[in-house]
């Protein structure tokens, strides 16, 4: 396992901290005034490549593809067929995906292309 994710938990505000406990069943509690309150269920994150926001990336790639389609079909750029245009769009999209912002970096030995 590469780590844990605690859905719904946010980082404390600047200058603040939280006492949390994570139990072996994944239960996450926070202590306040000497009392423990359950706040979430931790999830084990398996080894992984770099993690990106796939929904945001899909929307960005779709906009890129539409822009490229308009650009390549409206201009005389030496591309003759729709297949040529689709190939060019695929090439550009792959580069765009490679440059997507990383949310969580890949584990050591993780596959960066995932």
Per residue in 54-96, pLDDT (tens digit) is 888 888 888 887 887 777 776 666 656 778 777 777 887 787 7
Domain count, the chain: 2
**66 in the same domain as 17:** no
| 40 shares a domain with 67 | no
* CA distances to 21, 43, 58, 92, 110 from 30, in Å: 6, 16, 36, 47, 32
Q: Which residue has the tokens 């030496």?
A: 78
Range(s) of the domain holding residue 65: 50-114
Read off the pTM. Answer: 0.55
Which residues neighbour 46 within 8 Å (Cβ) at sequence distance 6 or greater?
Answer: 1, 2
Say if residue 37 is in the same domain as residue 77.
no
Mean pLDDT of the chain: 81
Q: Does one domain contain both 41 and 59?
A: no
Domain shared by 58 and 35, yes or no:
no
Residues sharing a CB contact under 8 Å with residue 22, sequence separation 6 or more, in sequence order: 4, 6, 28, 42
User: Are residue 55 and residue 13 in the same domain, yes or no?
Assistant: no
Do both 27 and 77 map to the same domain?
Answer: no
Q: How confident is the model at residue 114 (pLDDT cuts 50, 70, 90)?
A: very low
Q: What are phi and psi of 21, to 5 degrees?
A: -125, 140
Assess whether 18 and 65 both reside in one domain.
no
Domain match, 107 and 55 both:
yes
Identify any residues that bridge with 32 across adjacent strands, giving them in sequence order: 35
């Amino acid at each position: 396992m590469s780590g844990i994710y605690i859905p719904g938990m946010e980082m404390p505000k600047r200058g603040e901290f939280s006492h949390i406990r994570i139990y072996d069943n994944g239960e996450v509690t926070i202590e306040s005034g000497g009392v423990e309150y359950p706040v979430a269920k931790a999830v084990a994150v398996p080894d992984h490549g770099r993690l990106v926001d796939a929904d945001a990336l899909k929307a960005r790639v779709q906009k890129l593809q539409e822009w490229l389609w308009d650009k390549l079909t409206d201009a005389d750029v030496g591309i003759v067929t729709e297949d040529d245009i689709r190939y060019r769009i695929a090439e550009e999209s792959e580069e765009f995906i490679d440059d997507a912002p990383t949310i969580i970096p890949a584990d050591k030995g993780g596959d960066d292309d995932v």
